[in-house]
Amino acid sequence: MTQEDKLAIRMRHISKSFGTVVALDAVDFELKEGEIHALLGENGSGKTTLMNILSGIYYPDDGDIAIMGQDVAICSPKDAFNLGIGMIHQHFKLVDVLSVAENIVLGLPPSEETKRKRLNQTIRDIADRYGFDIKPESKIYDLSVSEKQTVEIIKVLYRGANMLILDEPTAVLTPQETEKLFDILRAMKADNKAIVIITHKLNEVLAVSDRVTILRKGQKIDTIPTATANRQILTEMMVGRKVDLQIERPEVTERKLMLQVNQLTALGPDGRKMIDRISFDAYGGEILGVAGISGSGQKELCEAIAGLCPVVGGSILFETKLNGVDVAENLVGQTPEAIIRKGISLAFVPEDRLGMGLVASHDMIDNVMLKNYRDHKGPFVDRQTAREAAEEMVDALEIVTPGVRTPIRQLSGGNVQKVLLGREIRSNPQMLMVAYPVRGLDINASFTIYRLLNEQKMKGVSVIFVGEDLDVLMEISDRLLVLCHGRISGIVDPRTVTKEHVGLLMTGGHDEEVGA
Amino acid sequence: MSDYASCEIKRPLVRMVRRPAASLAHRTIVYIIALIGALLTGALLIWILGHNPIDVYVSMVRGTFGKRISFNETVKVTVPLLVTGMAVAIAFRMRFWNIGAEGQILIGGVAATSVVVYGQAIPQVPKLILMSLVAMLAAGLYAAIPAFFKAKWDTNETLFTLMMNYIALKLIMYLQYQPGWQADRTTFPKIRSFTPDARLPRVMGIHIGWIIALVLVVIYFIYVKKTKHGYEISVVGESMNTARYGGMNVGRILIRTMFISGALAGLVGFIQTSGADGTLTESTAGGMGYTAITVAWLSKMNSFAMVFVALFIAMLQRGSSSIQTSHGIPASAASLLTGLILFFMLGSEFFINYRLVFRGRPYHG
């Protein structure tokens, strides 16, 4: 009995299925007061589902939950909030035009407590107590991503949560910001709050947590004290077998100029300038990494080169052969159709795989022919050739699918990415742009993608890799371009530079290096 | 653990749980149950009105298939529904909500009638061919206007196509007074009847529109499923971003497809004026442009399914007028029955995708 009482949360035999997919299979989970508990697992392991059950978004098919020793049923987010559970989601739910304080009380009944002066004081008290750095009066649109996250955390604290769940909180943060967040988590722990962080990053588990629970394919593998764990043990538990965590960076001696971007300026969908006078070169036989806080212009940079984003200035010169003569073709102002017609073999794996790169409801055959269905003569489409190509891809890339006629949306994230990247590689590109190619992929699939990218590099293809995991970017890239607010804040050699230095470049700390 | 036993837990009574992809058998059963449910609810309604439901249903069926002539009438309603269904479905596949088929039918009728009015010397066969071509061209261009605006300025096609229905309707009301168009020896606003050489010939007692419709069913299927155009339509419908990324000219595809959609509706205008009615009136379209939306959705944009759905809806419409005469049940009650069936059919989708779990299902703790 006394043992039970110390538990903030006890979940027993929690099961949840979505259709035939078993997301959670009789999972147990315990959270103590005053601990930071890491929930570790690959994508699709059920970690977010488990926490969504706790925060009232899903209702379990089976199992029971006790909060502070009391059995409860959590039917809605409101129930969860009444029980003192607060979840900070990956996607923030804030109103841009309102202030920090206004967002924090949004939806609460008006009372003495919510009078502006009193409210601001309460928020400042919370901020002081845990070491947040935020002004209650600032507008949300003026805040950085990490400050917005801070607001989300204060929001749940203000509402009296003593159990906090953070879903992949560091995905959008720079190394410095991550460290700051961890300090805050430690301060909250000292205040006897119970904290869960959902993550798939081993370094973070080891850095901040007290205990770690590992999930794999909807099943709980184990809960262990972090002090007894290391990277290798955790990976094996997470993946289920030994994995080599080393990303290769093969050396290519011959490098050939492939792309010259000069003073490129491009607009986002709302007409704002998203990249501003950017200049760089890309070479065949190298991987050029692109790092930056999300929204620093990575998307627009890729889409501008692919002809999908309005360019207002500058040039994009692509080295190609037209009728056997070497020329530098300017891609600015050309539609993707025109670029394809000119025989410029530019492959692009966009960030939004199912919304741009593929058609989710179509099968693999229809997706494979997306870019070359025009090549077949006559009014009909040639599904036979596309089918053969799809079947070859399934074999070569070990794509797990019930068949080439299965709609793409039914495949797992890793297999979707293999279809997309596989199609782009099949076109024998001179240049391959990939945006966040391993987002949402498990370790195994991620390493397949790294291997494929390295293969392309060895073939002399110029690879541009836009990524978010700085560790990966620094291991795989030959050069690393850092974007900050749509400008290049530095192009560095990842073999010699430190992660902290790149982190500073990402936040614009080294503006003096701009230029070249 | 004594606390645990006495603790009252509030669990939800019913929960929705997503089902795995339903099998064909499962779907069929759900649809049949839905149909039965609709008929039973309809029977209740008829019973409340003071009639014997079985009698009423029997006379509905008899009214549609009982005699040769009533069957012919049913087919005459089915043909335009079927072709208009394909017209809207091709646009819907592209997620372009063309609810302007009504107006496009009327424009097709106006164009066909203009040949009758101004080309009286043309012999029958070339005249009919010219009428159909002009009808398709005019309605196609009429439908391409909202597509052009959507492509250029991203206007809302739903409102745009809807508003254009009224323009077409008013155009006919204007033409009813124009010399050459207005019927002879009358001051009544009415467009002249077509001369026999401007009427569609009959095959097996029904104007040949039914053959045209069946040929179109096959062509539609091939166009949508096998051609590059059909492929482009499906990609644009799913995601314009993907289409652009794949190098498609989205604007051109929008305009081209809407031209085809309008042309099919225009053909209906020709079939109705030249085949069924022998003249052009304000009710030439008669709400078909809207009913066709139901046809397209219920058949999931599949042209072969549309044959049956169109026939079914035509049956309900014909049957309703027949029970009006035989039982004195107002036609509006029959429309209500049509509505019930649609409601049940569309509602049954929920049971295909979800199942309900009730409280009290045993679980282990």
Kindly report, residue by residue over B229-282, the tens digit of the pLDDT.
999 999 999 999 999 999 899 999 999 999 999 999 999 999 999 988 889 999
> Which residue in B221, B231, B253 has the most chain A C-beta atoms within 10 A of its own C-beta, making it the best mutation to test that interface?
B231
Strand ranges, E, within A304-358: 311-322, 325-330, 346-349
pLDDT of A39 reads: 93
User: Which of A9-23, A162-176, A265-279, B338-352 shows the lowest per-residue confidence on average (mean pLDDT)?
Assistant: B338-352
Q: What is the pLDDT of residues A431-474, one digit of tens each?
A: 999 999 988 777 888 888 999 999 999 999 999 999 988 889 99
Q: How far apart are CA B257 and CA B266, in angstroms?
A: 14
Sequential DSSP letters for B139-207: HHHHHHHHHHHHHHH---HHHHHHHHHHHHHHHHHHHTTSTTTBPTT--SS-BPPPPGGGSPPEETTEE
Pairing of strands A462-466, A286-291: parallel
In a domain? residue B300: yes
pLDDT at B115: 94
Question: What pLDDT is recorded for position A513?
Answer: 44
Closest to A345 measured CA to CA, from A415, A420, A265, A259: A259
With 80 as the cut, is the pLDDT of residue A3 above it?
Answer: no
Domain that holds residue B102: 78-315
On whether residue B48 sits in a domain, the answer given is no
Locate the chain A residue with the closest alpha carbon to B236.
A359
Amino acid at A482: V
Taking CB atoms and an 8 Å limit, are A71 and B4 in contact across chains? yes
For residue A440, which of A465, A464, A468 has the smallest C-alpha distance? A468
pLDDT tens for A366-396 read 999 998 898 888 899 999 999 999 999 999 8
Cα–Cα distance, A348 to A245 (Å, whole number)? 26
pLDDT above 80 for A78? yes
Euclidean distance between CA atoms B21 and A361, whole angstroms: 14
What strands, in cross-sheet order, belong to the sheet with A325-330?
A273-284, A256-267, A311-322, A325-330
| B9/A73 CB distance under 8 A | yes
pLDDT at residue number B22 = 66
How many domains is chain B partitioned into structurally? 1
Chain A contact for B362 (CB, 8 A cutoff):
no
**Which residue, chain included where needed, has tokens 């944009």?**
B301
A180 to chain B, closest Cα gap in Å:
38
The secondary structure element, H or E, covering residue B232 is helix B228-238
- More confidently predicted of A410 and A64: A64
Chain B residue numbers touching A22 (CB-CB < 8 A): none
Q: Measured between alpha carbons, how far is A174 from B241 in angstroms, rounded to an integer?
A: 30
Set of chain A residues whose Cβ sits within 8 Å of the Cβ of B93: none
Average pLDDT, chain A: 87
Instruction: Tell me which H or E stretch contains A88.
Output: strand A85-88
Angle at A36 between CA A87 and CA A183, to 5 degrees: 90
Return the SS3 of B94. Answer: coil
d(CA A24, CA A51): 11
Quote the tokens at residue A217.
Answer: 């394919």
Residues in chain A: 516
pLDDT band with cut points at 50, 70 and 90 for residue B336 = confident
Contacts A358 to B, Cβ<8 Å: 242
- Provide the greatest CA pair distance for chain B: 100
- Of B15, B246, B249, nearest to A59 by CB-CB distance is B15
Question: Contact B14/B357 with Cβ under 8 angstroms?
Answer: yes
Rounded-to-integer distance, Cα B247 and Cα A334, Å: 11
> Please, which pLDDT band fits residue B145 given cuts at 50, 70 and 90?
very high
Q: Which residue has the higher pLDDT, A59 or B354?
A: A59
CB contact under 8 A, B228 and A380: yes
Which chain B residue shows the shortest CA-CA distance from A59?
B15
**B246 domain residue, yes or no:** yes
Query: Integer distance in angstroms from the first to the last C-alpha of chain B?
Result: 13
Least confident of A257-266, B217-226, B294-303, B335-344: B335-344
**What residue ranges define each of the domains in chain A, with the CATH number in brackets?**
2-239 (3.40.50.300), 256-345+429-513 (3.40.50.300), 362-428 (no CATH)
What is the C-alpha to C-alpha distance for residues A312 and A345, in angstroms, rounded to an integer?
A: 24
Q: Could you tell me which residues of chain A have a Cβ less than 8 Å from any Cβ in chain B?
A: 12-13, 17-20, 59, 61-64, 69-73, 75, 306, 308, 335-337, 339-340, 348, 350, 352, 355-362, 366, 369-371, 373-374, 376, 379-381
Per the domain annotation, does B57 fall within a domain? no
Looking at the domain assignment, is residue B195 inside a domain?
Answer: yes
Separation of first and last alpha carbons in chain A: 68
User: Chain A interface, mutation test: which of B228, B236, B256, B301, most A Cβ atoms within 10 Å?
Assistant: B228
Say yes or no to pLDDT of B97 above 90: yes
Element (H, E) at A12: strand A7-18
Rounded CA gap, B216 and B224, in Å?
A: 12
Q: Determine the distance in angstroms separating the CA of B94 from the nearest CA of chain A, rounded to an integer.
A: 13
Put simply, the answer to whether A373 touches B231 (Cβ < 8 Å) is yes
Most confident of A44-53, A278-287, A405-414, B195-204: A278-287
Q: What is the pLDDT of residues A285-343, one digit of tens each?
A: 999 999 998 888 999 999 999 888 889 989 999 887 777 777 888 888 888 888 877 77
Paired with A326 in beta bridges are A321
Residue position matching structure tokens 């494929």: A452
Q: Are B231 and A355 a contacting pair at CB < 8 A?
A: no
Question: Is the predicted pLDDT of residue B286 greater than 70, yes or no?
Answer: yes
* Residue A412 CA: distances (Å) to CA of A200, A389, A416, B279: 17, 20, 6, 58
Decide if B225 touches A, using CB distance below 8 A: no
Residue A268 contacts by C-beta under 8 Å, 6 or more apart in sequence? A274, A300, A309
B253 neighbors B236 (Cβ within 8 angstroms): yes
Please give the Cα distance from B353 to B360 (Å, whole number). 23
Q: What percent of chain B has pLDDT over 90?
A: 49
Q: How far apart are CA B89 and CA B102, in angstroms?
A: 14
Mean pLDDT of B54-65: 84
**Which residue carries 């997503």 as its tokens?**
B18
User: Would you say A430 and A256 are in contact if contact means Cβ atoms under 8 Å apart?
Assistant: no
Q: Tens of pLDDT along A121-155?
A: 999 998 888 888 888 899 998 888 888 999 999 99
Give A13's DSSP letter. Answer: E
Instruction: Determine the pLDDT at residue B10.
Output: 60
Nearest 5°: CA angle at A63, between A57 and A65? 65
Q: Which amino acid is at A2?
A: T
B44 to B41, B47, B58: CA distances (angstroms): 5, 5, 15
Residue with tokens 């397949």: A448
Q: Which of B226, B227, B365 sits opposite A64 (nearest CB)?
A: B365
**A147, A379, A439 from A160: Cα distances, Å:** 20, 65, 33
Q: Bigger pLDDT: B67 or B10?
A: B67
| pLDDT tens by residue, A224-253 | 999 998 888 888 898 888 777 788 888 888
Chain B hits for A384, CB-CB cut-off 8 Å, are: none
Mean pLDDT lowest for which of A115-119, A287-291, A417-421, B100-104?
A115-119
Q: What pLDDT shows up at residue B20?
A: 63
- Residues of B with Cβ-Cβ distance to A62 under 8 angstroms: 363-364
**Mean pLDDT of all residues belonging to chain B:** 87
Query: Quick check: is B44 in a domain?
Result: no
The mean pLDDT of B273-300, rounded to a whole number, is 90
Helix (H) or strand (E) holding A340: helix A336-341
B73 located within any domain: no
